[in-house]
Amino acid sequence: MGRLSTHVLDTARGLPASGMRIDVEKLPGSGTPLKRAVTNANGRTDAPLLEGAELTAGTWRIVFHVGDYFRARGDRDAGRFLEEVPIVFVVDDPAAAYHVPLLVSPWSYSTYRGS
C-alpha cells in the first residue's frame, strides 16, 4: 500500500517545524489542494499526506507555507525571500512509500526522497 509522507525541520532554529501548513495537489490540477495538513510538534503530519488509492501515478506538488510559519514565530526575515516552497515530484510506483522531507530557513531549503 503506497503512501506519501513528509517532515519539516527548521534549520534556523535546529528544531522540528511545528505548525507549518502543507498543501498537496496532483498536476495538472485546478490549483485547489486535494489535501491540507499542518505539522505537529515533531514537524510531521499526524497521518500520511496520502495513502492507498489516494496516491496515484503521475506528477504531484507539495507546497510548504514557509513564510507564514516563520512569521508566526516572529522571525524578522519571514517572507523576505521564501514565501512558499513547492516541491514537484513524480510518483512512478503508487504502491511504494514516498517520503519528502523539507529542511528550511527563511533563506534556503533542501529536500530529498527519504525512506
pLDDT-based confidence at 1, cuts 50/70/90? confident
For 12-84, strand residue ranges (E) read: 15-16, 21-27, 35-38, 50-51, 58-64
Domain count, the chain: 1
Q: What is the CATH number of the domain that holds 100?
A: 2.60.40.180
Domain of 104?
3-111
| pLDDT for the residue numbered 77 | 93
Instruction: Give yes or no for a contact between 71 and 28, defined as CB atoms under 8 angstroms apart.
Output: no
Give, in degrees to the nearest 5, the angle at Cα 68 between 35 and 59. Answer: 35
| Residue 49 clears pLDDT 80, i.e. is over it | yes
| pLDDT for the residue numbered 69 | 98
pLDDT-based confidence at 30, cuts 50/70/90? confident
What letter would DSSP give residue 13? Answer: T
Q: What percent of the chain has pLDDT over 70?
A: 100
Residues in the chain: 115
User: What is the value of pTM for the model shown?
Assistant: 0.95
